[in-house]
Structure 1
């Protein structure tokens, strides 16, 4: 059973991909009681507020399927149930949808702080390496973490001035796409 169906994060408009079914529920991450906060990065010029609630950002078109999952945690390694994660990224040709919500959406972590996103790997555009944007908030009036997640082994990582190795997703190939893992640690 996939994390999507087990956690009930969102009703998907498209059938759950076999790749998501293959994704294992992430185990509670190893932690020594004090984790380093996820680094902040710029939101760039393409953020659009009020994205639709959905855990599946796929739309028509080609591109490598990506199933990203992980936890949202405090610095004391405690899960943050119900944390809001708002994702957006370029389409497979490197273009952003600035009029609608293609490759944009938000979801909530489950009661164990787990999340899962289904999307397609973004394309490249001038000056940037392949990346996803995300805003993470624990709830209420808490500070928002805005950051970017990067793909390992991308040639553009060396040239991108914003690239931060601490924000690399752990990716592995799977039938039909890639499975990714990233745990967010909120500072406060």
Structure 2
């Protein structure tokens, strides 16, 4: 038997370039859970493969350590720089895709983002959640159903977005009203929901930290495609964490966090007159023109127990 091959497969007490993965992974204790063993074995395997591929100098290795340290220092109660790093590397989106495989026709997930707040105010359908009065008025209207088109009464539609200046309320605590452009609505008996808001616009992710500097060095812009966030949930169904994206946004194909999915691109229609409103089935929901309207339905799937 080739003793050199055996050493590479089983590892050694002493690490070298050839046996590094087996040696490190061989140090795990016998009581380590199977999942922990799988995860850490994979991390070590791919980290060592990357190191051998790029052969970093000592100075480059230290730069990487300094970068990750800076990322940690930038984190606060209202900002998670590690989430931003995961986002711009496409990892956050890949994790969403892997963990939300659903049948055709079901609403697809996308990234949660770092600015979700639980316990947003509960409102009646039709409430205007734009508290700062900025931007182009918007009506969002639709239904929550199952895969067969049956309504899901009482489903909760939790919504949040930036204001017209491109900031979430938590980013401007002394500027925007608390809970600006956030709210939770319950679907009616026929699964319908609707509310008033403002047309979303594209905006840059926070780029004044190490992640923004990395984007610059990669020749990438920091802009997210315009979107509205939703979490839609109901007892007995998988919750959906998703967005809708206006089809006229110039950044749909280059969203900096890779969050756009083709099935989530929506038509935001401009309503200029009462005749337009009647043609869209809006009646006299809004008396002032012009405004925008988007019809968006959510399709949930049963929970797997």
1:159-178 matched pairs, under 5 angstroms: 159-160=254-255, 161-175=258-272, 176-178=290-292
* Alignment: residue pair count: 154
TM-score by length of 1: 0.77
Q: Does 2:252 align with 1:157?
A: yes
**Counting strand residues as a fraction of each chain, which structure ranks higher?**
1
* Aligned residue number for residue 49 of structure 1: 118
Higher relative contact order (CA 8 A, sep 6+): 1
For the residues of structure 2 that align with 1:35 and 1:128, how far apart are their CA atoms?
Answer: 26
For residues 123 and 153 of structure 1, what CA distance do their matches in structure 2 show? 10
Q: Does structure 2 conserve the Cα–Cα contact (< 8 Å) formed by 1:131 and 1:151?
A: yes
Return 122-131 or 82-91, whichever deviates more.
122-131
1:136 equivalent in alignment to 2:232: yes
Structure 1 residue ranges without an equivalent (≥5): 1-33
Contact 2:237 2:301 in 1 (8 A): no
Aligned counterparts of 2:201 and 2:248: Cα–Cα separation in 1: 15
Q: Which 4+ stretches in 1 moved above 3 angstroms? A: none
Runs of at least 5 residues in structure 2 that lack an aligned partner in the other structure: 1-102, 205-222, 273-289
Aligned to 2:137: 65
Would you tell me which structure has more helix in proportion to its own residues? 2
Q: Deviations over 1:33-86 (max 9, x none)?
A: x96110011110000000001232122232111101111010111110111000
Q: In the TM superposition, what is the alpha-carbon distance from 1:129 to its structure 2 partner?
A: 0.8
Distance 2:152 2:299 in 1: 9
In 1: Cα distance, 2:297 partner to 2:128 partner = 19
Aligned to 1:39: 108
